[in-house]
Amino acid sequence: MAQFDFLGTWNDSWDVVSAILEPGDVRLIPALMYEQPQARFLSRLGEVHELCLAECARFYISCERFTRHPPEFWEIKAGKNKGRFAIDDRKAGPLLDLSLPGCFRYDDVGVPYLAIEGGPGMHLAPGTLSNQREYLNPDTQEWEWVAEAVKAGFKDIVRRVKKRLLRHQFHKPIWIGRNALCEVQAKNAMIHGFGLD
């Protein structure tokens, strides 16, 4: 599995999503629990921003250059989401997987909440862009290694994301958003992950 990890605040996340969507060849599919097995496709930054603040910071990336099939769903059989549907990123597609970086604070009793604004007490957790090594082709019902088009698409999306980040030397070089780096340097934010906890 190819994977690219990075840090950022919510402001940095909007820059990253904007860079991904800018050329107009990509749509984001929220990784939600759906009432029906029908994906919601987002192609505008405002749609993503609204959804992230409400309920979701993980998306699948569909691109006309490498996505050959619509997403497939599986039904949740138990628990609070019983009867709902989730996307199975190993079937159909292929899709890339984007989790935006976590940016949160703790309340007085230790419960985390979204840190939308900058300032003291921020905690930053990594975001990740990745893709599966193989996927189930719905036409043949056989597992296939991802095609060169998927690998090239992954590299292109990473290139877009890196244009909005800085590679900063901590104990090792880490890709980080400009806003997040300012907050870390001002000692307003603590980094989790990358061996920095």
User: Tens digits of per-residue pLDDT, 8-25?
Assistant: 998 999 899 999 999 899
| pLDDT at 188 > cutoff 90 | yes
The edge-to-edge listing of strands for the beta sheet with 127-131 is 2-6, 127-131, 96-99, 58-63, 26-30
Listed in sequence order, the residues at least 6 apart from 69 whose beta carbon sits closer than 8 Å to its beta carbon are 92, 93, 137, 138, 139
| 25: in domain | yes
Is residue 189 one of the residues assigned to a domain?
Answer: no
- When mean pLDDT is compared over 31-40, 134-143, 159-168, the highest value belongs to 159-168
Domain count, the chain: 1
Give the side-chain half-sphere CA count within 13 A for 17: 31
Residue 145 has pLDDT above 70, yes or no: yes
- Residue 107 lies inside a defined structural domain of this protein: no
Domain assignment present for 130 = yes
CA dist 28 and 3 (Å) reads 18
**Whole-number Å distance between alpha carbons of 75 and 121:** 39
State yes or no: pLDDT of 195 exceeds 90.
no
pLDDT at 155: 97
Structural domain containing residue 39: 2-102+126-164
The answer to whether 135 touches 92, Cβ cutoff 8 Å, is yes
The reply to whether 83 falls in a domain is yes
Q: Which of 3, 25, 44 is nearest to 175 (CA)?
A: 3
pLDDT for residue 30 is more than 70: yes
The number of C-alpha atoms within 13 Å of 159 and in the hemisphere containing its C-beta is 7
- What percent of the chain has a predicted confidence (pLDDT) above 70? 95
Q: Is the pLDDT of residue 181 over 70?
A: yes
Residue from 138, 149, 133, 146 nearest 91 by CA: 138
Higher pLDDT, 194 or 165: 165
Q: Using 50, 70 and 90 to split pLDDT, how confident is the model at 173?
A: very high
Specify the DSSP element, H or E, that contains 171.
none
**106 torsion bin: left (phi>0), alpha (psi -120 to 50), beta (else):** beta
Please answer whether residues 65 and 153 qualify as being in contact, where contact means their C-beta atoms are separated by less than 8 angstroms. Answer: yes
pLDDT grade for 69, boundaries at 50, 70 and 90: very high
113 domain residue, yes or no:
no
Residue 49, exposed/middle/buried by CB under 10 A (0-12, 13-18, 19+)?
middle
Q: Is 108 inside a domain boundary?
A: no
Q: Over range 44-68, report the average pLDDT.
A: 81
Tell whether the model's pLDDT for residue 96 goes beyond 90.
yes
30 within some domain: yes
